[in-house]
Chains A and B, each alone.
Chain A
Amino acid sequence: AQSVSQHNHHVILSEAASLELGCNYSYGGTVNLFWYVQYPGQHLQLLLKYFSGDPLVKGIKGFEAEFIKSKFSFNLRKPSVQWSDTAEYFCAVKGTGANNLFFGTGTRLTVIP
């Protein structure tokens, strides 16, 4: 069965701290991987995606993620967070032949100024 696990439910960081949010998935087949961000009261916005090729992908706002196939992981990183990064972050996976996204339970990031 498909599943996405985000182990950190709530992360609190001070500005300029480094961020790493974990994401592990279970899926029988080739996958596309995504990170979405949801700012308070707003819709889901695509941060970055991995389809194939270089396993280190860079997204918007200084975020990057690394796909490690052997670990079924797609962790999100940012070297120095800002207060404006306060949001909920969702990891999602989609089979390459499938239509829908499977989301993790999300990680709430709070950045303290």
Chain B
Amino acid sequence: AAGVIQSPRHLIKEKRETATLKCYPIPRHDTVYWYQQGPGQDPQFLISFYEKMQSDKGSIPDRFSAQQFSDYHSELNMSSLELGDSALYFCASSSDRNIQYFGAGTRLSVL
């Protein structure tokens, strides 16, 4: 069965650079969630989209933005990167907003 696809798997950036993370949900899933998991931390909810509209907002910094496109894939845009942004970024998708299926994550390292 198809799963949530995230790209890239690994990303290395320097401070003050920008990064774009992509998420392709499971086919026919209309809801996408973004989570950030710092080293040794639990995943923290950033933002979610339902039918291409932002549906909920968590602890997402103002330097970050995200959107969901007409094909339901989502992109997380991160600007003015800081060392503290180094983390594993997970995307999850859902068709009923009850069960979330997670992708493999993008590991972002900011040097």
Contact = CB atoms under 8 A, between A and B. Distances in A.
Interface string A30-56: 001010100000111110010100000
Interface of B: 31, 33, 35, 41-45, 48, 50, 55-56, 58, 90, 92, 97-105
Question: DSSP majority for the B interface?
Answer: strand
Contacts of B99: 34, 46, 49
A32 B59 CA distance: 21
Interface residues of A, number: 21
Given A99-B48, A100-B45, A103-B42, A32 B33 contact: no
B31 A103 contact: no
B1 to A, nearest CB: 13
A105 interface: yes
7 contacts: A43-B90, A51-B98, A99-B56, A100-B33, A100-B58, A101-B45, A105-B41
B33 A99 contact: yes
Contacts of A44: 43, 90, 92, 102
